[in-house]
Chains A and B, each alone.
Chain A
């Protein structure tokens, strides 16, 4: 473990101490620290009770030459007292191919849905919605290839496809385990209002639904020790998302209201699934940044799941309401207080909890997306 961390630490310290703009050939280094105190354990949570560290990220990024840029994001996590270093992003990306094409290769966050392609430290709540935690393991990243095209329309219209190894979502033997398709459109209603809507499809080839694989499926269904994959999967996952943002005169510095909603649906869960067996979830979130340093938000979400037990399923249902208040001293530090209310059937440990979180970023701070 020590051998693996030392090069990263030494590298980052060397770069951080070299002074701003001293050597522009060095990559941008950015470190995100995220910690929390959580009163109670909750269902489908990736954050433990008590004091804990969340997504500690060290990221290096830089143009490679005039055509490519690259990025490495490593995440430090602790599970049951054991430290882990995960590679969340390690990709190269083209800058400005003809015809509005854009290629990314390596490991990266899949662009399905609205939240999935965003970094966790940009989130408005302590955890992602229950539907994301169940169906995408909060955020699905994998190794593969992406091709996007921005269509030459007067409004924003992007289409994209990704092919992934698939092992970060669920285990399997396929070389190309996951395909995704995605389209999004967007624009402005006025100077004060902007919007975006998207549709995504994720095809998981590693979920077997063939009759002859019954025994194989039974062998594997309890060996679910894949801490970062999704706990609930299906051969097909469909996601629809919509975002609306409003700020007076478009001056987001002073005030901004963001309304976002997503719907997720997964079917063909395994060999034994009938057409009645599917996972379904959605959330609606409203966040109001009412002053330059303050924001408050409320989010409600539900998820209906089918937990596999041999040749049959158990129904599970979770309803979750989150209320949060956040204070950002600067663009680089946020303190958040959140109350979460869970009500569940089919889960034993649903609870209500108060959580206190900090998220800060040191070093270079990349531009945020929409």
Chain B
């Protein structure tokens, strides 16, 4: 007992030193607001440590600036986020509470993907009666086959500038990613021909960039206004919409409540497609290219009669 007591202050000191020196030893920390940016940054710097604030099962608009995220943000070297007000409800509080001098507005440590994209449907005038409309445009740009290369290039350049010793490797990985992406994109383009002109009912505009790119009409929305949950009166209006007859399926994201889609499906006998809105841990959808391929697979199987050439 006496011997134990003699060692205990040293033990406590050792544990405290360990706790404090642990983050300093780890080399490069990436804080990603959404999993798609973890997937993309991991392509360029696979050896870094990643913290992802959200998952495909969560609505990225509604995350809390909770203690674990403050701690992760405070030790991060770069934060990679979507921007365009997607994270307006939580990122500012996180940045302020973490107080990380490297990750502040205007610093290279804060990377917004939407700064490197052409957003769809920007608004000159926005007011709250329109719902949760982002004046900058639709922020869900991570599924845009044409915009991703720009974002990836900007991110690779940013990471290269922050890690000059690795910049040659990062650039080489970017070139490899780009070649692979172009290869995939040519494949998607080929498959888009069969999907073009079809229509879907959606819930929120999370998949809109990809659907537009594929030529799929997605203007029927279960949400009465962007960001407002589907209401009974709106669903009844939708049921009376003459365009509904042509819709092949009801597409919702994994994090969304399935009840409104199920109700509409029961009324119309249209199938429900539940797809992850972003990359997941599943090996079939753990990169953006695989995710887009998988979404197209699922769209193809939901719209089978196209093969007859009926359109």
Q: How far is the CA of A152 from the CA of B70 in the complex (A)?
A: 11
Enumerate B95-112 residues with CB–CB distance to A below 8 Å.
Answer: 95-106
**Does chain B have a CB within 8 A of A98?**
yes
Contact with B along A150-193 (1 / 0, CB 8 A): 11111111000000000000000000000000001111100100
**Does chain A have a CB within 8 A of B215?**
no
A19, A94, A186, A330: the one within 8 Å of B66 (CB): A186
Q: Write the chain A residue with the least CB distance to B74.
A: A150
Pair B59/A330 contact, Cβ less than 8 Å:
no
Pair A252/B64 contact, Cβ less than 8 Å:
yes
Pair A245/B64 contact, Cβ less than 8 Å:
yes
**Does chain A have a CB within 8 A of B132?**
yes
Known: A20-B126, A253-B61. A370 touches B24 (CB 8 A): no
Pair B64/A20 contact, Cβ less than 8 Å:
no
How far, in Å, is A328 (CB) from chain B's closest CB? 10
Pair A21/B255 contact, Cβ less than 8 Å:
no
* Partner-binding segment picked from B86-94, B146-154, B191-199: B86-94
B67, B105, B227, B257: the one within 8 Å of A186 (CB): B67
Q: How far is the CA of A101 from the CA of B67 in the complex (A)?
A: 16
Pair A252/B63 contact, Cβ less than 8 Å:
yes
* Partner-binding segment picked from B15-23, B181-189, B205-213: B15-23
Pair A187/B98 contact, Cβ less than 8 Å:
no
Pair A331/B55 contact, Cβ less than 8 Å:
no
**Does chain A have a CB within 8 A of B127?**
yes
* Partner-binding segment picked from A1-9, A232-240, A312-320, A361-369: A361-369
Q: How far is the CA of A154 from the CA of B74 in the complex (A)?
A: 10
What residues of chain B lie closer than 8 Å to A365, measured between beta carbons? 89
B55, B59, B98, B136: the one within 8 Å of A150 (CB): B98
Enumerate A111-169 residues with CB–CB distance to B below 8 Å.
Answer: 148, 150-157
Q: How far is the CA of A253 from the CA of B229 in the complex (A)?
A: 10
Pair B106/A66 contact, Cβ less than 8 Å:
yes
Contact with B along A88-115 (1 / 0, CB 8 A): 0000011111101110000000000000
Pair A191/B64 contact, Cβ less than 8 Å:
no
Known: A154-B22, A251-B57. A96 touches B100 (CB 8 A): yes
B54, B71, B89, B106: the one within 8 Å of A368 (CB): B89
Q: How far is the CA of A154 from the CA of B62 in the complex (A)?
A: 24
Known: A94-B99, A150-B99. A187 touches B67 (CB 8 A): yes
Q: Write the chain B residue with the least CB distance to A94.
A: B99
B58, B59, B65, B125: the one within 8 Å of A19 (CB): B125
B55, B61, B74, B99: the one within 8 Å of A250 (CB): B55
Q: How far is the CA of A98 from the CA of B104 in the complex (A)?
A: 12
Pair B66/A98 contact, Cβ less than 8 Å:
no
Pair A152/B20 contact, Cβ less than 8 Å:
yes
What residues of chain B lie closer than 8 Å to A69, measured between beta carbons? 96
Pair B64/A368 contact, Cβ less than 8 Å:
yes
**Does chain A have a CB within 8 A of B135?**
yes
Q: How far is the CA of A24 from the CA of B136 in the complex (A)?
A: 13
Sorting the interface of chain B by its residue count into under 10, 10 to 19, 20 to 34 or 35 or more gives 35 or more
**Does chain A have a CB within 8 A of B11?**
no
Q: Write the chain B residue with the least CB distance to A101.
A: B99
Q: How far is the CA of A125 from the CA of B6 in the complex (A)?
A: 52
Pair A153/B127 contact, Cβ less than 8 Å:
no
Pair A98/B89 contact, Cβ less than 8 Å:
no
Pair B68/A155 contact, Cβ less than 8 Å:
yes
B58, B66, B99, B128: the one within 8 Å of A249 (CB): B58
What residues of chain A lie closer than 8 Å to B62, measured between beta carbons? 251-253
**Does chain A have a CB within 8 A of B131?**
yes
Pair B127/A20 contact, Cβ less than 8 Å:
yes
Pair A368/B93 contact, Cβ less than 8 Å:
yes
What residues of chain A lie closer than 8 Å to B20, measured between beta carbons? 151-153
Pair A155/B128 contact, Cβ less than 8 Å:
no
Pair A96/B58 contact, Cβ less than 8 Å:
no
Pair A367/B128 contact, Cβ less than 8 Å:
no
What residues of chain B lie closer than 8 Å to A191, measured between beta carbons? 55, 57
**Does chain A have a CB within 8 A of B75?**
yes
Q: How far is the CA of A66 from the CA of B95 in the complex (A)?
A: 13
Enumerate B21-71 residues with CB–CB distance to A below 8 Å.
Answer: 22-24, 54-55, 57-59, 61-68, 70-71
Q: Write the chain B residue with the least CB distance to A249.
A: B57
**Does chain A have a CB within 8 A of B239?**
no
**Does chain B have a CB within 8 A of A347?**
no
Pair B99/A251 contact, Cβ less than 8 Å:
no
Q: How far is the CA of A309 from the CA of B24 in the complex (A)?
A: 58
Q: Write the chain B residue with the least CB distance to A247.
A: B58
Known: A250-B55, A368-B90. A156 touches B68 (CB 8 A): yes
Enumerate A330-367 residues with CB–CB distance to B below 8 Å.
Answer: 330-332, 362, 365-367
Pair B24/A152 contact, Cβ less than 8 Å:
yes
What residues of chain B lie closer than 8 Å to A153, measured between beta carbons? 19-20, 23, 71
The 10 closest A-B CB pairs, nearest first, are A186-B67, A156-B67, A96-B101, A253-B59, A367-B93, A249-B57, A253-B62, A156-B71, A367-B92, A188-B68
A residues near B (Cβ < 8 Å) are: 19-21, 63, 66, 69, 93-98, 100-102, 148, 150-157, 184-188, 191, 194-196, 245, 249-254, 291-293, 329-332, 362, 365-370
A-B contact pairs, 21 of them (CB 8 A): A19-B125, A95-B95, A95-B96, A96-B100, A100-B100, A101-B99, A102-B99, A150-B70, A152-B74, A154-B71, A184-B67, A185-B67, A188-B68, A194-B66, A195-B67, A245-B66, A250-B58, A252-B62, A331-B227, A368-B65, A369-B97
